[in-house]
Chain A
Amino acid sequence: MSGWFCPEVLLVLAGVVLILADSLVADGKKGWLPKLALVISFALLGWTLWGAGQPMPTSWGNLFVTDGLSLVFQPFFVLCLVGVTFMSVRYPMGKEEVVRAEFLALPFFSTAGLCLLASARDFLAIFLALELVAISLYLLAAFHRSRAASLEAGMKLLVMGGLSTGFLVMGIAWLYAATGSTDFSKILLDQAGRPASLAFLLAVGLILTGLAFKIAAVPFHAWAPDVYEGAPTPITSFLAIASKAAGFVLLLRVFGLGAFALDSVAVVFRPVLLTLGIATVTLGTLAALPQRNLKRYLAYSGIAHAGYMLLAFGTLGEAGMGTLVGYLWVYLLSSFPVFIFILEMERVHGSADLRHLDGLGQRDPGVALGLALCFLSMAGLPPLLGFSAKLSVFTTLWNAGEVPGLVVGVVMAVVGLGFYLMPIRAMYWEREADSIPAQRFPAFLVWILLMAGFFQLFLGLQPRPLVRLVERSLAPTSSSLFPEK
């Protein structure tokens, strides 16, 4: 089997096939296109899981590497794609149905870029892959050309994304000036064992700033809530999860494993990362409290989660990196079901306002239970999955002796429980059964959410598969995800 069948190539091909199919099929007969996209994305997910370990084509030179990290995050991103495509099938497009194929195909290109990011080992490759992701997302966020909120979202994403790319490119330029290379291993060799020059540190700082935009870390977070609210919900989920994860994977690549894994960098940037983390956790949690729109609410919750991940990663040890990888998976598993729910809520009620949750516990007990478990998991309540993630963050900080981060993390976890209890309160004790409209959610939603809730519980009690995933992700060699097969 040739290495040309790697997920990145197949993803791009699938996107092209979708666009071709759209232009070849007559109007009015395109109803099966979304389903085709869904089938393809599922097939690709199976392919990444089964074919994991396929080395990348050698002709791509030194730009990419296949190691544990890329093996673990390719399925992650393709899983996000499956979710987005699934939501797109359910997404009401209205009059803009004529351009539907692009809405389906662009996430494929974006995912291809994400998979490339996960395996990049050269700043040029990072730049190219990041632009592939970002440009697709600009288009997708502004997809509702007639809706002002969507256009605003696209515009904000474009400007902010452009700004962050600017920082990144500037950083890469300074890096090249300081070290004479953009290749991770060459930079490492060049810089190892000597004090970092000012130019080098400036480059690192600029690149960190660029990445901080991507993960919506405070103070580079302001775009996130508006964009999340305005963008079409499937795209919101992709932005919130896949795009944020991409930023963190890059942090891992660059600061954890790759070019900047140097003592001279750590001395300067460990406090910076931890401070970013403290600010992000605090602001994300506190600003979430007054939110009344579920999409904005999740945006701030995502910012808070990013803060925890930054805190763990900021210790710049192996434990912190492992925690980050695990936390990203936990974040995916607990927030994606909520996004699927938001989409259905918008279909039924017309908006993502928190008050539509009132009385859900009696109207749709299954949906409410699943949702409650997801929220509590995000809050980090044992024995749910999110607790393992928080526990891991706290243990990492404890062992690194980072008292300020630890204190802020604990206090904000308590405040966080307060804001994750808000929807639960709305669902279970806000309104009595007789005052509830009789609108119902589709049956499959119950199963999805119950399954998600069960997953939170099961993996929370037995996170062994996740821990193995983390271990694999930090392993340097490229071997299959499932070694026993």
Chain B
Amino acid sequence: MSNTFKIVLVLVGLALVVPFVPGLIYPVFVMKVMCYGLFACAFNLLLGFTGLVSFAHAAFLGSAGYVTGALMIRFGNHPLGMPAAFAAGVAAAALVGLAIGGLAIRRRGIYFAMITLALSQIVYFLAVQFRWTGGEDGLQGIPRGSLFGLDLSSDTVMYYVTLALFAAGFLFVDRVVHSPFGQILQAVRDNEARATSLGYDTDRFKRLAFVISAAVAGYAGAMKALVFQLVSLNDVSLHTSTEVVLMTLLGGVGTIFGPLLGAGLVVGLQNYLATIGDLVTVVIGLIFIVCVSFFRRGIVGEFLHLRRRRAERHKRRPVRNATRDPAPAAEAA
């Protein structure tokens, strides 16, 4: 059993008892953290493990939310309505991802990021213009429907379903990172020219990574639409796209659990500091400045770095000798 799997088990175990202690922590708050946490994990798959900065992730979150929401409003009563609408939302996000990623991947670095930004603004514009998205009003009162006969209108049932969906999504992202495909993604991130010279079509890898990331962001968006029974323009806005950058950097880019922790912190601050109104943005902004100035690896990243350095200090001497010795095997050859 991998360490990741153990930690997920512990987290799920803790999350299981949340509905029994509503005085301590609201289940709705935990569901929100799970939605944004998975969203940040999807984003991190690109930024942390492929080396691509996208400002389009709200477009994926939102388009899945709109599709799932609109379908639920029409077919929510059907016994298979919820899984079908959910799957359609994920598929829609993947398609939007294919369109945006396919175009943006022709350019690199800041140009790549700007193309994703421009195209996601088109998605925002469409969300305002279309009638089925509800324009300025968004989609409200989305029915949750039922899953395998379980009525999801109860918050407790929805909570456990969300938890299961979240765990599955999270483990999926972990699998993608730790897969043969994930290895090539890391190679592309580390040194794209070298990956090409080894015979890998790096654009194809980046495009697939982009689509997977968009699909997972959509998965989080579909979850969110059902949990809050609401999809609004905020979900496709640039603000949401930048918030996910903040969550990922704060928690630790390129780590498995960092984005989840970052999402928890940002959502927590927004929730528990809601009384100070707009000042929340100032607080979060200050935290962000501290983060990028003093612990650029993010919270989980710094923790892992410290642990690695401590482990290295234990075996420093033999390692150093090994690097100094001219390689004996090559000498003999």
- Do A and B pair up? The answer is no
On B, residues with C-beta under 8 Å from A are none
Binding site for B on A (CB under 8 A): none
